[in-house]
């Protein structure tokens, strides 16, 4: 009100003031104030985006919009330091991850994210462009994916019915880390200038590989304490997965083609050997031994396929060729049938040269 209006209002009788106030209240009820159109739109958009019921539809719409703009294709290959890298990790990947709704799907997605982060490190290191800032960003994303994976697997592990699923997920992640460990070691040898920047990432991956290896041994221990029917069911599931993985890895290696002394070639041979042993143990009713063989077969087969894919990408992007494993310490370790998760991992074996199960039990209890 202006000063003049206030003076006029002050001169009214009380019943006149009350009547004016009531008229104002009625008008306000009939004509409520509304936020600007833009604010109302943003409020509605936020309510839909963060509503779990619309999560899948929102992700689909977002993915269509990004893909239709052509940004998604360009962002897929973006690396730390590229203008589109922020879109890749902050928009595109979260939208893709929204499609993973079950703990198993989320675990697989986090394993895929870990592989993507490692691929970024390898591509930059192969070109000697892995700066400390880029390495830090990749390490942060890798840890986030690994922690998410651990949480998803822990949720699944609360039920004994998920034992086979948990074992398969652990094998997949172990193979992912092992294959990339081998590749990063080879890049560090081929591009010595990149080795210092790669080392923190490599150390983190080696620690997680060793941890998964130990966890897999613990799962074998848990299976050993289960009844025969549960052990048979777990071994049957592992056999189905191993046959599929080994067959696919052998086919891909044949079409590459891959030398038998290359990391992928050794892993395919090791996978086939473990699969044969697993089948034999399964047919003889040795389900726990079969489970160990078949998990090792799956890890080797998956690692072989990753090696093929990573080697092809590095060859195209940076001209880096992964040499035959006969020139590395990893070949010696693989030929002896030992796990080399603390070094350049090529093969995983459960042969007679591996420690006895009693020694593994002792180590786990310690």
> SS3 for 261?
coil
Q: Which of 274, 283, 164 is nearest to 226 (CA)?
A: 164
Report the pLDDT value the prediction gives residue 114, as an integer from 0 to 100: 94
User: If residue 314 lies in a helix (H) or strand (E), which one and from where to where?
Assistant: helix 287-318
Question: Residue 221's CB: how many other CB atoms inside 10 A?
Answer: 15
| 358 token code pair | 């009693």
Q: Give me the count of residues in the chain.
A: 366
The verdict on pTM exceeding 0.95 is no
pLDDT digits (tens, 9 = 90+) for 19-67: 777 777 777 777 666 555 555 555 555 554 455 554 555 545 454 554 5
Q: How many CA atoms lie within 13 A of 157 on its CB side?
A: 18
CA distances in angstroms from 66 to 74, 87, 90, 300, 345, listed in the order given: 10, 10, 13, 36, 38
- Where does residue 52 rank: exposed (0-12), middle (13-18), buried (19+ CB within 10 A)? exposed
Tens-digit pLDDT string for the chain (366 aa): 555 555 555 567 777 777 777 777 777 777 666 555 555 555 555 554 455 554 555 545 454 554 555 555 567 788 998 988 988 888 888 888 888 899 999 999 999 999 999 999 999 998 899 999 999 999 999 999 999 999 999 999 888 778 778 877 888 888 888 888 888 888 888 889 999 999 999 999 988 888 887 877 776 666 556 667 777 887 888 898 889 989 998 888 888 766 777 778 888 999 999 999 999 999 999 988 888 898 889 888 888 888 787 777 676 655 656 554 433 333 333 333 333 333 444 555 554 334 334 333 333 232
Q: Which of 1, 34, 6, 302 is nearest to 179 (CA)?
A: 302
CA-CA distance, 20 to 33, in Å (whole number)?
Answer: 19
């Amino acid at each position: 009100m202006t000063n003049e209006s206030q003076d006029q209002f002050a001169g009214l009788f009380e019943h006149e003031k009350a009547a004016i106030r009531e008229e104002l209240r009625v008008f306000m009820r009939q004509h409520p104030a509304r936020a600007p159109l833009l604010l109302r739109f943003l409020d509605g958009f936020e309510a839909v985006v963060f509503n779990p019921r619309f999560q899948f539809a929102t992700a689909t719409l977002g993915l269509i919009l990004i893909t239709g703009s052509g940004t998604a294709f360009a962002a897929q290959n973006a690396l730390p330091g590229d203008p589109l890298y922020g879109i890749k990790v902050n928009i595109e990947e979260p939208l893709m991850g929204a499609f993973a709704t079950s703990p198993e799907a989320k675990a697989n997605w986090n394993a895929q994210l870990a592989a993507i982060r490692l691929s970024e490190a390898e591509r930059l290191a192969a070109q000697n462009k892995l700066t400390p800032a880029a390495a830090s960003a990749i390490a942060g994303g890798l840890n986030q994916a690994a922690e998410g994976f651990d949480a998803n697997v822990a949720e699944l592990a609360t039920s004994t019915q998920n034992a086979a699923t948990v074992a398969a997920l652990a094998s997949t992640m172990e193979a992912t880390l092992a294959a990339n460990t081998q590749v990063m070691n080879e890049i560090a040898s081929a591009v010595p200038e990149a080795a210092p920047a790669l080392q923190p990432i490599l150390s983190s991956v080696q620690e997680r590989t060793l941890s998964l290896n130990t966890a897999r041994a613990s799962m074998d221990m848990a299976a050993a304490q289960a009844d025969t029917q549960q052990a048979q069911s777990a071994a049957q599931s592992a056999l189905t997965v191993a046959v599929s993985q080994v067959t696919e890895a052998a086919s891909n290696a044949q079409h590459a083609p891959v030398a038998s002394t290359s990391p992928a070639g050794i892993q395919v041979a090791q996978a086939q050997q473990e699969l044969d042993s697993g089948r034999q143990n399964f047919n003889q009713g040795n389900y726990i031994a079969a489970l160990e063989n078949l998990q090792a077969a799956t890890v080797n087969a998956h690692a072989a396929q990753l090696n093929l894919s990573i080697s092809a990408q590095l060859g195209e992007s940076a001209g880096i060729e992964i040499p035959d494993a006969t020139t590395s310490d990893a070949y010696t370790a693989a030929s002896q049938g030992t796990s080399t998760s603390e070094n350049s991992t090529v093969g995983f074996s459960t042969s007679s040269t591996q420690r006895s199960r009693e020694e593994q039990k002792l180590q786990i209890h310690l």
